């Protein structure tokens, strides 16, 4: 989850270190424009590219959901 | 403020026909390229009339009137986060800053018909994407927003890089907008009030406006996600009228709830220290003028007398 917190920090969300894994990031102040930065930071950190069908706001609502989205994506990549 | 995408062949045919009508009526002037237009005195009279009409909507509330050029600082554009959402529409000013030798080489490049843009360097000036953009850093610099909020009537030329021959999709155009900055309830109430007054004013001009939820033209692969969120939160409503196409409506204005987007970007706070909310609502003046031409014809003196009266146009 460290990479997710790094990406959150880069996306300008303050207090990224202290946000609970189930806490809603948008309620904590993550804006739509922050989400663009978050997605690009995650892609850079993990060396991936989110497919269009994964680019849904609900997939990035909590750290836990981001983790699941990443796991699903990397699982698919490993299976190829 | 951006209109819905209308790339259909039928729309393009109608847009080309409408453009030809405007050129033949000498309302629009071809300025050396199909996607750069100038305007006649008659057209400018209409633009001045619709701008004044927009100005009357909230004149009784005594808004602070501001006019800006088509330029904002590059720093302001960056802080507004426009480039994150709309890089394809943004523009900035580049200038030649070289010495005599570089000048000679650049001229040689132009003489050979080659690309000479490599001789230009970025300046600190960017092109204004919407007339409200210069307002936010200015208001932030004044300190906390007073309890009653603040209302600003702002106008400027704006730039968006979307070349087209459609007369409503200009690269440089004029906007006149109201910006309200205050508490959330005040901001939403202002938008409701603006919609009500706008519909009444447009009906007084013989138009039949409709409104609909809309989204901005976000860039590339983020477009779907951003647009869905914008619509789900009902942040943007467009005023729709037939303009380029006689039977399809296009946006001539919009009202937008930014929530705390600009307040967070520029540090606009209320007296209690919380972030303020900002909204803007306004018109593309050329689009509104074109909607009137579409409805009433290319000759202003032949428009219905009540319409000319509502717009304070000569009888």
B73 vs B75: CA distance, rounded Å: 5
Tokens of B198: 């706008």
Q: Which residue has the tokens 């994407």?
A: B129
B255 vs B266: CA distance, rounded Å: 21
B154 vs B176: CA distance, rounded Å: 6
B296: Cβ contacts below 8 Å, ≥ 6 apart: B206, B302, B303, B304, B307
Q: Which residue of B220, B225, B262 is the best one to mutate when testing the A interface, meaning the one whose CB has the most A CBs within 10 A? A: B225
CA distances from B180 to A68, B152, B213, B281 (A): 41, 6, 20, 9
Choose the closest CB to A56 out of B84, B225, B260.
B225
Choose the closest CB to A57 out of B81, B225, B260.
B225
Cross-chain residue pair A57–B230, CB shorter than 8 Å: no
Phi, psi of B247 (to 5 degrees): -120, 0
Choose the closest CB to A57 out of B81, B85, B229.
B229
Cross-chain residue pair A32–B229, CB shorter than 8 Å: yes
- In chain B, the N- to C-terminal Cα span, in Å, equals 33
**Confidence at residue B106, expressed as pLDDT on a 0 to 100 scale:** 97
B103 vs B117: CA distance, rounded Å: 12
**Confidence at residue A2, expressed as pLDDT on a 0 to 100 scale:** 77
Residue of A nearest to B232 (CA): A57
Phi, psi of B298 (to 5 degrees): -85, -5
Tokens of B51: 């701008």
Strands of the sheet with B172-182, listed across from one edge: B64-67, B150-159, B172-182, B277-284, B249-259, B236-242, B210-213
CA distance B267 to chain A (A): 14
**Confidence at residue B7, expressed as pLDDT on a 0 to 100 scale:** 57
Cross-chain residue pair B228–A37, CB shorter than 8 Å: no
**Smallest Cα–Cα separation from A12: which of A21, A27, B5, A33?**
A33
B217 vs B291: CA distance, rounded Å: 22
Q: How many residues does chain A have?
A: 80
Choose the closest CB to A32 out of B221, B224, B226.
B226
Contacts of B260 in chain A (CB under 8 A): 31
CA distance A49 to chain B (A): 11
Neighbours of B301 (CB within 10 A): 9
Cross-chain residue pair B230–A31, CB shorter than 8 Å: no
Residue of B nearest to A31 (CA): B261
Cross-chain residue pair A52–B224, CB shorter than 8 Å: yes
Cross-chain residue pair A33–B261, CB shorter than 8 Å: yes
Q: Identify the burial level of B151 via C-beta atoms within 10 angstroms of its C-beta, where 0-12 means exposed, 13-18 middle and 19 or more buried.
A: middle
Residue range A11-25: mean pLDDT, rounded = 78
**Confidence at residue B11, expressed as pLDDT on a 0 to 100 scale:** 87
Size of interface A-B (CB pairs under 8 A): 28
A69 vs A60: CA distance, rounded Å: 8
**Confidence at residue B29, expressed as pLDDT on a 0 to 100 scale:** 95
Q: Which residue of A33, A51, A59 is the best one to mutate when testing the B interface, meaning the one whose CB has the most B CBs within 10 A? A: A33
**Confidence at residue B2, expressed as pLDDT on a 0 to 100 scale:** 38
B148 vs B189: CA distance, rounded Å: 12
| CA trace torsion B160, B175, B77, B171 (10° rounding) | 10
Choose the closest CB to B261 out of A31, A36, A56.
A31
B33: Cβ contacts below 8 Å, ≥ 6 apart: none
Choose the closest CB to B224 out of A32, A36, A55.
A55
Cross-chain residue pair A55–B225, CB shorter than 8 Å: yes
pLDDT block averages, 10 residues each, chain B of length 315:
56 93 96 87 98 98 98 97 95 97 97 97 98 98 98 98 92 97 96 97 98 94 92 95 95 96 96 97 97 98 97 90
- pLDDT confidence tier of residue A12, bands split at 50, 70 and 90: low
């Amino acid at each position: 989850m460290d990479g997710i917190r790094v990406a959150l920090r880069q996306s300008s969300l303050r207090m990224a270190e202290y946000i609970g894994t189930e806490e809603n990031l948008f309620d904590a102040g993550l804006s739509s424009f922050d989400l663009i930065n978050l997605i690009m930071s995650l892609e850079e950190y993990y060396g991936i590219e989110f497919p269009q069908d994964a680019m849904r706001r609900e997939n990035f609502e909590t750290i836990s959901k981001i983790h699941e989205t990443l796991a699903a994506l990397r699982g698919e990549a490993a299976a190829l | 403020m951006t209109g819905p995408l209308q790339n259909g062949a039928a729309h393009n045919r109608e847009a080309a026909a409408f453009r030809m009508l405007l050129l033949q009526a000498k309302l629009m002037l071809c300025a050396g390229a199909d996607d750069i237009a100038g305007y006649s005195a008659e057209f400018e009279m209409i633009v001045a009339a619709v701008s004044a009409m927009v100005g009357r909507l909230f004149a009784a509330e005594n808004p602070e009137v501001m006019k800006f050029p088509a330029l904002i600082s590059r720093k302001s554009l960056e802080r507004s986060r426009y480039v994150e959402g709309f890089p394809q529409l943004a523009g900035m000013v580049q200038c030649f800053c070289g010495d005599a030798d570089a000048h000679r080489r650049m001229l040689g490049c132009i003489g050979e018909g080659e690309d000479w843009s490599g001789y230009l360097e970025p300046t600190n000036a960017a092109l204004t994407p919407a007339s409200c953009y210069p307002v936010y850093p200015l208001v932030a610099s004044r300190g906390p927003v007073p309890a009653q909020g603040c209302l600003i009537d702002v106008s400027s030329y704006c730039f968006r890089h979307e070349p087209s021959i459609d007369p409503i999709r200009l690269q440089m155009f004029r906007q006149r907008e109201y910006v309200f900055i205050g508490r959330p309830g005040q901001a939403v109430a202002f938008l409701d009030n603006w919609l009500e007054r706008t519909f009444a004013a447009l009906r007084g001009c013989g138009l039949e406006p409709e409104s609909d939820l809309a989204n901005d033209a976000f860039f590339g692969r983020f477009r779907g996600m951003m647009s869905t969120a914008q619509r789900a939160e009902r942040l943007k409503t467009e005023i729709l009228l037939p303009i380029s196409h006689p039977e399809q409506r296009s946006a001539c204005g919009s009202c937008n709830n930014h929530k705390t987007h600009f307040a967070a970007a520029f540090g606009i706070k209320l007296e209690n220290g919380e972030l303020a909310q900002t909204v803007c609502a306004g018109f593309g003046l050329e689009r509104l003028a074109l909607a009137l031409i579409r409805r009433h014809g290319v000759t202003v003196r032949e428009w219905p007398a009540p319409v000319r009266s509502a717009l304070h146009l000569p009888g």
